[in-house]
Amino acid sequence: MTNIVIDTNVLLSVLYSNRGASYKLLSMIHSEKFKINISTTLVYEYEEILKLKSKLGTSYVDAILDYICLIGKKNSIFYLWRPKLKDMDDDFLLELAVKSNSIIVTLNGKDFKPASEFGLKVMTPKEFLQHIGEIS
């Protein structure tokens, strides 16, 4: 099973559109084709950003986050080598991906170029769905 870490921008795009690769990816998070990896820091970021920017209401965001927390693989990260990325707010996501040996799924791949130094792949939702054979 492929491990992934989903960047907040992917979840945010789902709140604005129920079409596209981000939505399809989120609708498949219960799939046996991949396992979403989370950390306390990532869930807090999801909650902060999604509640701030969502027009669908906090109960909708809470339902999404509750499900992600239910099925996600929990990881502890220890911030051992910050900063590594241009946007220091994304460093914890890189550390989570290293810890869980995950593909980073993001809409901002250029922000995660240093991930290759750790042997990690960075993909858009569409690229990841192609990678697992869900779309061509």
d(CA 121, CA 46): 21
pLDDT, one tens digit for every residue, the chain (136 residues): 999 999 999 999 998 888 899 999 999 999 999 999 999 999 999 999 999 988 778 898 999 999 999 999 999 987 666 556 565 566 888 899 999 999 999 998 888 887 888 899 999 999 999 999 998 7
In a domain, 35, yes or no: yes
In a domain, 63, yes or no: yes
Task: Kindly report the pTM of this predicted structure.
Answer: 0.92
In a domain, 51, yes or no: yes
Which residues have CB under 8 Å from 45's CB, separation 6+? 8, 89, 92
Q: What angle do CA 24, 25, 29 make, to 5 degrees?
A: 120
The domain total for the chain is: 1
In a domain, 136, yes or no: no
